[in-house]
Every structure is written in structure tokens, then in C-alpha cells.
């Protein structure tokens, strides 16, 4: 029998994972999603027989990821495909070289000259793993590296790695403490990058299954118009169809939506600063080919253009028989977002990468998806921008989860880890943990 009721607002990865964990533990959950379909930005779009994921669905450090905890606790049926670093290369323009993602890759890569610089970089990895390097509060990694006296080639490599892991063209602006915390975890993993074989859709369906099988409910097309807020507590949320009351409330919607929901309430001032922060925006160009074009590599990073392409079909079931899907992403600086001329230039740089490594792709093109400004993360971790806390002191029964909320890792891992923390707090209050 249910003893506690929780309303979860938002049916993306964060909201679904919170709802599924709470429902499985005996809390009655009502999940409200404004769209007709669950998933938020983690949706799969079918087009001409191809399943395009709305954005990259790579999971970093899978063996220590919170999605793995959810998989075990909830009995999720997830098919995993692990990235093969031996099939990854940096494109240096006139030659290809190994990615320094493993010790073997570091030994072979031409990104760093042979000899002492590689040894120094290997030592930096050891220091990071052992927490001998932690960065400094209020100091970006770019500033920190300059102060450290490291060789310029080592600095460039460290920033290049950050560019690809944080999906940014401005890696020097990442807070140094965030940088080292992230790589302390990534350097100790056995599964640096993995993919969900069925794409985002398979994970969304599994989380939805757990919610419904546990006796909780999901309501789509339920747009939140506001909250009833009294004496430091949320009493209910209002939709066009009715009012939903509960003991606890989880808001897994972006800051700008939160600003509207909590307007003229005791949480308005607490949320206000996060409405001003910039998202992490990238340009995405996916193509679906009728026939595979043989290539020895499944991942290629153009170091100069800061563009990467991944053969998604090598790791997921996303194409018709014999087909191939390639996803390319270009990192953008904040001032480049919305610049149509710059976007066209970046699109052309991606097409040149396709021309170079996928000869004949234009003849095999069956479907494509191009987005000039896709949000990779709702709050970009840079300079003085901060992620939201899971909870504010101004409200005792409202919780927040998503890739704009404090947690572990970056990108989707923030959604899973912040959602996991929210679930743990609610279960403790309900006496179920």
C-alpha cells in the first residue's frame, strides 16, 4: 500500500529515472509531461527507416555511472555496446593518429612528441587519479594550466580532451575543480564510453515500464501552469486539466520553465540567477546511408575544426538492413550560437570530414537531420556559471533534477546522478531507506 505521494514534473531522463526509482520503492508517483511523448531531449526520431537520436547518447564511465545503479536496482533491460578506442583517431589534417584514451594510445599518438612529454602527461594522469591534482576554487582550468608551468603541447592535449568530453569549444573556461573531479572518475573507469544499443528510446521505454508496472501513473500533454505555495511548501501543481496534490514534488524541467512555474512564490529569488546562465549548445548533423561505407574507424575527431563524427550504427540498432548512420557534432563558442553564417561554415566543415572519410556518402544519402543549436546541457559549466542545487532551503518538499542540477559527471550523467540523489532524499523522508 502506498503511504506517500510524489508528483514528478518532466518526463525526460531525470524525471523518468526519479519516478521509476520511487515507484519501485513503494511511493505513489504521478509523472506529468507537457509533450505527447516521453523523453524530453532524449528522444529517438524515426525517419525513412533510420532512428535518429536527438543528440549524442554516449554514456561516460559506464561502470561507475548512475544509470548502472538504476539498471541493477530497477531490473532495467539495457543492451550495452562499448566504444572501441582502437577504432578511434584524431585527424591532424595531413595524417591520422591514435587517440590518447588509453596507455597504448598515449604511447602511439602523435598529438604529443615522443619521449618526456608523454611521460609528463602520463604522470599528470596518475596525479589526477590519486587526487594529487584538484584544481582551485574560482580558477578556470585554462588559468590553472598556465600557472602550472606545463609544456604548451601538454596543455593543448588536456584542453583537447576536455573539449570532446564536455562538448565545448571553450574548454579553457571549465572550472579547474570540475575538470579534475571529472577526470579522476574517467581515468579510473574500465568502460570510458558506451552506447545504449537501442538508443534513448529503449531506455525511456524501460523506465516507463517500471513506473507503470509499479502502480504509478504517467500523464502526458500536462503543461504546468503554476504551483500552490504556502508556508515554505509546495501544496499542489496546476495544469489546464486539473490540480495535483502530493507530499513531495520533483521538478525535472529546465530553469526557464522553473522561472515561470515559481513566479511570485518563495522560490522565485532562489531560482532567478539560473535563468541568466547560458546552455551548452552544439551543432548536430546526422546522416543515414542506404549502404555501409567501409572505414577502419568508428570515431574521428578533427582536431583543428573541433568536429567529430561517430559511426553510431557500429554500436546501435538504428538503421535498415545494410544501412549506416553517422552522427557529427561541432562544438560552438557562446558568441557563435545563432550565427547563421558561422553555422553554415561549420556544416561545410562537417561535410568535408564526410567527404574525406566516407567517400561516396552523398550517393548513399537516404535521410539526414541537421540542427544548428541543439542543447547538449541546459547550463554550461564554465567560468562563474553554477549548477542548481538539488534542493533550496526556501522550500522543504521541492526537489530539482536534470543536467542543470548539481551531481556527478556531465551531460546525461548529471540527469541520472541528480535524479538519484533526489530519489534518495525522498525515500529517506518516507522511511523507505
pLDDT digits (tens, 9 = 90+) for 24-64: 999 999 999 999 999 998 888 899 999 998 766 788 888 88
Residue the block writes with cell 537531420: 369
Q: Listing from the earlier edge strand, what are the strands of the sheet with 28-32?
A: 217-219, 28-32, 5-9, 248-251, 398-400
Average pLDDT over residues 365-373: 94
Q: What span, in angstroms and rounded, lies between the C-alpha atoms of 46 and 340?
A: 27
* Fold classified for 280-377: Polyamine Oxidase; Chain A, domain 2 (3.90.660)
- Across all residues in the chain, what is the average pLDDT? 92
What would the mean pLDDT of 222-230 be, rounded to a whole number? 94
Q: Which region among 52-56, 281-285, 416-420, 424-428 has the lowest average model confidence (pLDDT)?
A: 52-56
Give the DSSP per-residue string, 145-194: HHHHT--HHHHHHHHHHHHHHHT-S-GGGSBHHHHHHHHHHHTT-S-SEE
> What global pTM score does this model have?
0.94
Domain residue ranges of the chain, discontinuous segments joined by +: 5-42+65-71+198-277+381-429, 95-186, 280-377
Q: SS3 breakdown of the chain: % helix, strand, coil, rounded to 5?
A: 35, 25, 40
CA–CA separation, 91 vs 247, rounded Å?
54
pLDDT value of residue 307: 92
Whole-angstrom Cα distance, residue 93 to residue 417?
A: 38
Region 5-42+65-71+198-277+381-429: CATH code: 3.50.50.60
Q: Is the dihedral of CA 233, 238, 243, 246 positive or negative?
A: negative
Query: E strands within 34-167?
Result: 44-47, 50-53, 58-60, 80-82, 88-91, 96-98
Of 226, 180, 209, which is closest to residue 19 (Cα–Cα)?
A: 209
Q: What is the pLDDT of residues 387-420, one digit of tens each?
A: 999 999 999 999 999 999 999 999 999 999 999 9
**pLDDT above 80 for 106:** no
1 pLDDT band, cuts 50/70/90, is: very low
Sequence-distant (6+) residues with CB within 8 A of 404 are 254, 255, 274, 377, 378, 379, 387, 388, 414
Q: How far is CA 180 from the centre of its chain?
A: 18
Give me the pLDDT at residue 197, please. 86
Dist CA 206 CA 219 (whole Å) = 17
Q: Using one digit for the tens of pLDDT, what is the confidence trace for 306-322?
A: 899 999 999 988 999 99
Instruction: For residue 171, give the C-alpha cell.
Output: 574548454
CA-CA-CA-CA dihedral for 367, 373, 379, 385, to nearest 10: 150
**pLDDT by residue (tens digit) across 135-157?**
999 999 999 999 998 989 889 88
* β-bridge pairing 88-91 and 299-302: parallel
CA distances 386 to 178, 378, 410, Å, are 11, 11, 13
Q: 248-267 burial by CB neighbour count: b if 16+ within 10 A, else e?
A: bbbbbbbbebbbebbeebbb
Between 363 and 316, the more confident residue is 363
pLDDT of 313: 93
Over residues 359-387, the mean pLDDT reads 94
pLDDT (tens digit per residue) in 63-96: 889 999 999 999 999 999 998 888 999 999 889 9
Quote the percentage of the chain above a pLDDT of 90. 73
Is the model's pLDDT at 13 over the cut of 90? yes
Residues in the chain: 433
The CA distance from 74 to 212, in Å, is 13
Res. 433: pLDDT tops 80: no
Judged against a pLDDT cut of 50, whether residue 16 lies above it is answered with yes
305 vs 271 pLDDT, higher one = 271
Same fold for the pair 5-42+65-71+198-277+381-429 and 280-377? no
Q: Output the pLDDT for position 258.
A: 96
Write down the pLDDT at residue 328: 95
Query: What does the pLDDT look like over 184-218, one tens digit per residue?
Result: 998 888 888 899 988 889 999 999 999 999 999 99
Amino acid at each position: 500500500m502506498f503511504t506517500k505521494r510524489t508528483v514528478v514534473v518532466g518526463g525526460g531522463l531525470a524525471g523518468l529515472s526519479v519516478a521509476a526509482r520511487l515507484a519501485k520503492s513503494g511511493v505513489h508517483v504521478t509523472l506529468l509531461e507537457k509533450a505527447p511523448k516521453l523523453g524530453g531531449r532524449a528522444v529517438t526520431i524515426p525517419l525513412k527507416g533510420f532512428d535518429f537520436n536527438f543528440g549524442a547518447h554516449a554514456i561516460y564511465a559506464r561502470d561507475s555511472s548512475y544509470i548502472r545503479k538504476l539498471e541493477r536496482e530497477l531490473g532495467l533491460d539495457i543492451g550495452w555496446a562499448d566504444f572501441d578506442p582502437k577504432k578511434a583517431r584524431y585527424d591532424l589534417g595531413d595524417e591520422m593518429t591514435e587517440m590518447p584514451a588509453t596507455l597504448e594510445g598515449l604511447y602511439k599518438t602523435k598529438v604529443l612528441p615522443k619521449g618526456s612529454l608523454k611521460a609528463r602527461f602520463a604522470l599528470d594522469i596518475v596525479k589526477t587519479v590519486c587526487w594529487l591534482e584538484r584544481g582551485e576554487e574560482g580558477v578556470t582550468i585554462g588559468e590553472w594550466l598556465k600557472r602550472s608551468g606545463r609544456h604548451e603541447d601538454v596543455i593543448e592535449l588536456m584542453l583537447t580532451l576536455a573539449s570532446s568530453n564536455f562538448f565545448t569549444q571553450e574548454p579553457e573556461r571549465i572550472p579547474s575543480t570540475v575538470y579534475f573531479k571529472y577526470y579522476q572518475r574517467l581515468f579510473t573507469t574500465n568502460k570510458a564510453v558506451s552506447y545504449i544499443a537501442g538508443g534513448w528510446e529503449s531506455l525511456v521505454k524501460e523506465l516507463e515500464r517500471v513506473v507503470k508496472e509499479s502502480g504509478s501513473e504517467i500523464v502526458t500533454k500536462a503543461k504546468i501552469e503554476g504551483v500552490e505555495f504556502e508556508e515554505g511548501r509546495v501544496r499542489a501543481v496546476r495544469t489546464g486539466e486539473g490540480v495535483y496534490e502530493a507530499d513531495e514534488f520533483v521538478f525535472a524541467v529546465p530553469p526557464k520553465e522553473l522561472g515561470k512555474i515559481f513566479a511570485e512564490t518563495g522560490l522565485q529569488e532562489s531560482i532567478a540567477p539560473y535563468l541568466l546562465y547560458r546552455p551548452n549548445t552544439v551543432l548536430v548533423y546526422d546522416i543515414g546511408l542506404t549502404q555501409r561505407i567501409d572505414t577502419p574507424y568508428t570515431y574521428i575527431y578533427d582536431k583543428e575544426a573541433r568536429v567529430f563524427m561517430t559511426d553510431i550504427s557500429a554500436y546501435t540498432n538504428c538503421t535498415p538492413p545494410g544501412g549506416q548512420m553517422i552522427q557529427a557534432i561541432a562544438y560552438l563558442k557562446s558568441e557563435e550560437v545563432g550565427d547563421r553564417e558561422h553555422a553554415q561554415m561549420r556544416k561545410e566543415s562537417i561535410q568535408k570530414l564526410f567527404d574525406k572519410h566516407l567517400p561516396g556518402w552523398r550517393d548513399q544519402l537516404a535521410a539526414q537531420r541537421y540542427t544548428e543549436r541543439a542543447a547538449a546541457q541546459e547550463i554550461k559549466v564554465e567560468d562563474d556559471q553554477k549548477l542548481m542545487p538539488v534542493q533550496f532551503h526556501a522550500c522543504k518538499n521541492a526537489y530539482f533534477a536534470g543536467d542543470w542540477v548539481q551531481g556527478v559527471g556531465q551531460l546525461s550523467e548529471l540527469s541520472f546522478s541528480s535524479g538519484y540523489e533526489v530519489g534518495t532524499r525522498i525515500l529517506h523522508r518516507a522511511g523507505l531507506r
